[in-house]
């Protein structure tokens, strides 16, 4: 199997509402930036993978009328939709197109224009049928909280469990928000940029669903991300420092695969993340992620999740996420920087969000992250996406050098 590398990453400035552009125009900004970043153009692309959730932007099949405007008419194209992980699985599909030999250069595009649609209505239309089925097996009230409260209800349920088991406090959640929103100030594409934010500012925001405060939640963003995947051989010709894909994996666990048992599982356990990380690390040849990973981009739409996911990804021991945060280990200049971009807590264009995690990790390896470039040398990264019905996880490991012993 040929080795694959990322040679171009493009985004646009994320905002609450992009009324100045339609969907193809907004996407084109990210695509043009990806081409500029890679010295490639539309003629170099063999295929396109397009990621966006159905109806989140108020319409279906936007890829059918976006392609021609992007100069990508008559290119093979597929559509990916997996909830919050849409961007990561779109990137994975682009990777497999190249790794399989089906194409040599593939453009991955993911976006969300939430201001044009009704995301919460779309989420309910997806989650409610599954939730109603699970109610038949429900011995207590947890799933009703998750369904009635939407994503915030699910996050509150999960946060309560994580905080109880790890000892994380409201102060830890506030510290996470402050860290990432300050990081976002150095990222020109980030949505929420609050340079002087303090723990007190976050703590004073109102409770939505305990322990989730308004300040613990991500924004609803309009924006797009584009990435270019190609063979390792071609990457070395068009890019000074490609980001090589060392390993990736996705995993879905309950409730989608096990409705009867789902309601008995701990929402903070996230077995899917542990399994996806295990498989991705094995494929990347990583034996000790805590020592071998230099930087992480983690899916953190709620303030407790960066700490939780960092443990599930094997970066820290169970229950040590809050301690590592407070010690400054995860700061941009820390021993293991996490979310130098500002993370999802600062920018959340749902379809693009998980791809941005991969793209930001790639930029760190390429040395092109600008002001939010980590000061340490970044050789290996892990990025993470979370979606589906709160149980689907995608993990990607990138490196500055190709994997030893693999194909060219």
Q: Which H, E and C letters describe 152-207, residue by residue?
A: HHHHHHHHHHHHHHHCCCHHHHHHHHHHHHHHHCCCCCCCCCCCCCCHHHHHCCCE
C-beta separation of 400 from 5 below 8 A: no
Residue 151: band (very low, low, confident or very high) from pLDDT cuts 50, 70, 90: confident
pLDDT at 120: 59
CA angle 277, 47, 22 (to 5 degrees): 90
DSSP 119-156: HHHHHHHHHHHHHHHHHTT-SSSHHHHHHHTHHHHHHH
The answer, yes or no, to whether the previous bond of 255 is cis (omega within 30 of 0) is yes
Return the DSSP state at 216: G
Residue 170: band (very low, low, confident or very high) from pLDDT cuts 50, 70, 90: very high
Q: Distance (Å, rounded) from C-alpha 248 to C-alpha 291?
A: 19
C-beta separation of 83 from 394 below 8 A: no
Q: Distance (Å, rounded) from C-alpha 6 to C-alpha 286?
A: 20
pLDDT at 126: 56
Q: Does the pLDDT at position 258 exceed 90? A: no
393: β partners: 251, 386
Q: Does the pLDDT at position 275 exceed 70? A: yes
Residues 6+ apart with CB under 8 A from 162: 168, 268, 304, 307, 308
Q: Distance (Å, rounded) from C-alpha 188 to C-alpha 12?
A: 9
pLDDT at 396: 99
C-beta separation of 225 from 355 below 8 A: yes
The answer, yes or no, to whether the previous bond of 211 is cis (omega within 30 of 0) is yes
Quote helix, strand, coil % in the chain, to nearest 5.
Answer: 45, 20, 40
pLDDT at 99: 97
Least confident of 32-41, 108-117, 301-310, 363-372: 108-117
Residues 6+ apart with CB under 8 A from 326: 172, 175
Q: Distance (Å, rounded) from C-alpha 386 to C-alpha 87?
A: 10
pLDDT at 260: 46
Q: What is the mean pLDDT of residues 130-155?
A: 57
Angle at which helix 150-166 crosses helix 305-312, to 10 degrees, equals 60
Q: What is the mean pLDDT of residues 43-69?
A: 80
pLDDT at 59: 64
Return the DSSP state at 402: P
pLDDT at 262: 47
pLDDT at 152: 87
Strand 4-11 and strand 105-113: pairing? unpaired
pLDDT at 128: 52
Higher pLDDT, 153 or 186: 186
Q: Tell me whether residue 114 is exposed, middle or buried, using C-beta atoms within 10 angstroms of its C-beta: 0 to 12, 13 to 18, 19 or more.
A: buried
Q: Does the pLDDT at position 261 exceed 50? A: no
Structure token pair of residue 347: 């920018």
Q: For the chain, which domains are there?
A: 4-118+219-398 (3.40.47.10)
* pLDDT tens digits, 60-89: 677 777 777 788 888 999 999 888 899 999
Q: Does the pLDDT at position 173 exceed 60? A: yes
Residue 319: band (very low, low, confident or very high) from pLDDT cuts 50, 70, 90: very high
Structure token pair of residue 201: 């500012």
Q: What is the mean pLDDT of residues 356-376?
A: 99
pLDDT at 62: 73
Q: Distance (Å, rounded) from C-alpha 211 to C-alpha 233?
A: 50
pLDDT at 56: 65
pLDDT at 3: 95
pLDDT at 154: 81
* pLDDT tens digits, 174-230: 999 999 999 999 999 999 999 999 999 999 999 999 999 999 999 999 999 999 999
* pLDDT tens digits, 154-169: 889 899 999 999 999 9
Least confident of 34-38, 86-90, 393-397, 403-407: 403-407
Q: Distance (Å, rounded) from C-alpha 20 to C-alpha 7?
A: 29
pLDDT at 131: 52
Q: Does the pLDDT at position 136 exceed 50? A: no
Q: What is the mean pLDDT of residues 99-107?
A: 97
Residue 406: band (very low, low, confident or very high) from pLDDT cuts 50, 70, 90: low
Q: What is the mean pLDDT of residues 361-376?
A: 98
Q: Distance (Å, rounded) from C-alpha 307 to C-alpha 320?
A: 8
């Amino acid at each position: 199997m040929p080795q694959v590398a990322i040679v171009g990453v493009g985004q646009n400035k994320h905002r609450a509402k992009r009324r100045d552009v339609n969907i193809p125009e907004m996407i084109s900004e990210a695509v043009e930036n990806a081409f500029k970043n890679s010295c490639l153009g539309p003629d170099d692309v063999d295929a396109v993978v397009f990621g966006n959730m159905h109806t989140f932007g108020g319409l279906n099949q936007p890829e059918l009328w976006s392609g021609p405007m992007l100069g990508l008419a008559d290119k093979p194209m597929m559509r990916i939709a997996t909830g919050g992980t849409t961007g990561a699985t779109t990137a994975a599909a682009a990777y497999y197109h190249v790794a399989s030999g089906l194409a040599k250069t593939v453009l991955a595009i993911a976006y969300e224009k939430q201001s044009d649609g009704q995301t919460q209505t779309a989420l309910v239309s997806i989650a409610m049928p599954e939730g109603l089925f699970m109610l038949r097996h429900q011995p207590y009230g947890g799933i009703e909280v998750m369904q009635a409260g939407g994503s915030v209800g699910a996050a509150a349920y999960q946060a309560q469990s994580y905080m109880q088991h790890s000892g994380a406090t409201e102060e830890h959640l506030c510290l996470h928000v402050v860290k990432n929103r300050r990081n976002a100030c150095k990222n020109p594409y980030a949505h929420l940029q609050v340079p002087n934010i303090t723990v007190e500012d976050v703590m004073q925001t109102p409770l939505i669903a305990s322990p989730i405060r308004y300040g613990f939640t991500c924004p609803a963003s309009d924006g797009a991300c584009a990435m270019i995947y190609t063979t390792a051989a071609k990457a070395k010709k068009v890019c000074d420092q490609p980001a090589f894909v060392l390993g990736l994996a996705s995993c879905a666990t309950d409730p989608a695969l096990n409705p009867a048992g789902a309601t008995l599982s701990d929402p903070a356990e996230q077995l899917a993340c542990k399994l996806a990380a295990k498989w991705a690390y094995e494929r990347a040849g990583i034996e000790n992620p805590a020592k071998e990973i230099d930087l992480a981009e983690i899916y953190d739409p709620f303030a407790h999740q960066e700490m939780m996911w960092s443990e599930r990804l094997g970066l820290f021991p169970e229950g040590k996420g809050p301690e590592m945060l407070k010690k400054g280990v995860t700061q941009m200049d820390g021993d293991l920087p996490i979310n130098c971009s500002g993370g999802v807590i600062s920018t959340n264009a749902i379809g693009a969000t998980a791809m941005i995690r991969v793209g930001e990790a790639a930029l760190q390896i390429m040395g092109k992250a600008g002001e939010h470039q980590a000061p340490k040398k970044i050789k290996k990264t892990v990025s993470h996406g979370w979606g589906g019905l709160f149980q689907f996880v995608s993990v990607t490991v990138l490196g500055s050098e190709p994997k030893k012993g693999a194909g060219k």
